[in-house]
Structure 1
Amino acid sequence: MTGKVSLLLLLSSLMYGVFAKDHVPVLIWNTKQAQSGLPAVPALQYINYSTFQAKYLDPFKPRNILLFLQDALSVEDLSSHPSELHHVKQWMESSHSLYLPNVENAAYLAHDLPSHGYNVVVLEPGVPAAGLDLKQQDNNLVVVKLPSTLTNPSRHRALQKADEVMENVISKIGEQRDFTFIFTGLKPSVEEHSEQFEERIRVARSSMPSEERSGGFHNASCVKINLLSDIVLIYKGSNSTENVTEIAIDDSNAAADSGDCSGDTARILIKYINVPIGSYTAAKVNFHFEFKKEGGQWMLEGVDNSIDDKKTYFKPAKPYVSGIPIGMSYSCAQAMYFKLNETHKTPEIQMKIGGVQMQAFSPAEEKFGGAWDCVGFFTVPIWVGLLTSLFYVFILSVGMYMLSDIKTMDRFDDPKGQPIMVPNTD
């Protein structure tokens, strides 16, 4: 029986994993086991299966898993039908929970976990949960197949029925073990490139602090920094402008961040370990970003850098980050350059950040405030377009005025009467 179940799960996983790369939401909760060390959950970035298992599921340390599989599930189902899934909402709010909006092939858990020593039990729709055979000493994976929602003409009723089945199963066997509960789908109920899908993408993008999050996110105390690319140190020789060496500090070498806020000053320390610097490897590289608050605004004063025991202090080459209102973040996709605070330094050293979003004097939660972008609304192309349009409007106005000032004859010759005589002498 176990072999047939494994074969059935293998075939279904292959069908959904090979022929389509569908992305579905995943809800995880546990009433007893608190998760730790979870990374930030991206709003738009797709999470593949290996990342989902290693970084998001493993921190729950699940010994027994109750996997609820629905035939189709999308983010829209969770956001548009909260009353139909009210039990799920209560469990997520009252437990240690995690919500992942876009996971690739999440149903592959049903095939993968048996290879990790889990005893698999499949509960088909309509089968009572009271008689499940759960082994006492082994890890157990209970796969609960929820009633079909695609064949139900009412999405409202289908989700309500799924919520009732989950509540019934958890009430029967959920208290028998320390279960980690997972709710996901085999495929999305809203197809990609449909109007609903495109609308979801637009809304999610509008709420994101940055369009790309390819670099590193750092959060400590009241300061948050999201680096869109690695920090680069630029060494220039004194005799030739062509003798330039650029060293990128790979964010994958970042260690734990730290920081402090006191009064009108705030700092965040971004630490890197075992960083290749030219021909040798630095044991530690630190960047200490220092911020200052004046009135209702904040600014970036400078960056204190240390490579092992060698310290340098960088000041912004331009006042990039200044005059930012408290409660708002600074965002810029363009490169920012920092120069040494000392003069006549040989060789010349610069620091470059190729895109960043940062916020100081804010709560420690991992969410940026509204973005104060480095590119203002009136950019050079906009100004050129406005001035050109105004110039054409001025020419048109002058032309219309001149046309309106032309005087035409008010009398004309009558062929049956006397001709009009215009005297040509005074």
Structure 2
Amino acid sequence: MADAKMHRFRFTTSTCAALCCLFLTVCCSDQVPLIMWSGGGVPLGSLAPPAVGHVVSSSQLVSYLNSALSGAPHNVLLFLQEKLSLDDFTMYGGVFGNKQDSAYPNLESALQASPPPSSLVLPMVSWPGVSAVPGLLQERLGTSPLYLEPSTLAQLRLNASVPALLIIRLPYSPGTDMMSPKEVLSGNDEVIGQVLDIVKEQGVPYTAIYTALKPSRVVGEVLSPELRSVGRSLLQVSPSSRYPPVEFKSEGSSCILLWAENLTVSLFSKAKSVWERHDLTPSTFGHTVTPSLTGSSCNHTHSRLIINYENVLGFSSFRLIFSMGRRFYRVSAREWFTLDQVELEYDGQTAVFNGSRNIYAPAEFSYHCESVTSFRYALLVPRSTTDNANQWRVSFTHFQIQGFGVKGQDFSYASDCAGFFTPGIWMGLLTSLLMVLILTYGLHMITQLRTMDRFDDPKGPAISVPQNE
């Protein structure tokens, strides 16, 4: 009993106090919190929590997760909310001691049951780095993720010896269906409680992570009515936290644009037999980031974007090169541009990936794809089986590029890599075709029905059928 009180006191005075202090100093910041705990009481590595006010970068987040997963259970539950900020805990959680009015009773109970070092709270994480958490966990565990609902999880049997990555999506849409932000967060907390109860019933140790893809803005939602504008706003536009694309100019005009939610390269370490991963996003994109584009060029038929980096995976010089071409095709009677190659140059060595035939768009359009990788559903293929590219992996999330016909700093209309006939559309078409065939066959059978010309009347004379002798 005394230990339980001590754990509860430790949680409320250390973790919650840190959250309170950070809320007072960095309110309305563009960071996402990340909370991680172990269900079996296993320590989550040896890394100390960050100092108050410190923003965890993408590379530091990778170190935290790798250290935490080194000894933690490999049945990982990732509660991925659409939007989440530190303000959500300070405004609606039991951070200020009002536990009865908290929107996170299940989450706080789970953290109290797993005190440090079995839990890790990162109040401020750079949100572009958090968006890469699912991919990082997938590479670290070596298994594909399963997107589940609580009802589906009840039918799934986990195995402590087999790694599993279960992703539970949690919405965040305050203002819809007359629900307040606190009601939405309370509903998500109930989902977390249901999932944890199901896993506990199976008796399998687990590691849980609660975070989000983007930060939320809740301070403006809890202002007093006197501070809000009177009337109804039909079109309310909030400042976008999306960073601008990488822009290369030639002779004073833009000619190449590149944007991605995440740029990641991985190098296979033979000594450790693991893929060492480096996130290039923070050093490529941002409102205050200006990457070096030395060596880039563009003309009417060829464009070459070169992004220069320093200290990437131990290499002093590192370059990421995108080579694009523009050609006229007689069959379609128009010009198209293609992403021919993606090259990695590091300390005098090169790794070349050829773009597949699916990376193309009309010359006046931009190209967009949700995922461009070299190792899963690969759109980038190593140029040679003996090339250095076999030791590298590249991954671009929500990738968009335009090498020709650029006007200003905005992309042209995007040609998406997703085909029009998706698996869902094909299933609908085939099902509709099957139903039409069944209906046609039934109508054909009905039209072939024939009645008898004469009927046997039991009250009259019997029908006689003469037989030839």
Using structure 1 for the length normalisation, give the TM-score: 0.46
Using structure 2 for the length normalisation, give the TM-score: 0.42
- If you compute each CA radius of gyration, which structure gives the higher value, 1 or 2? 1
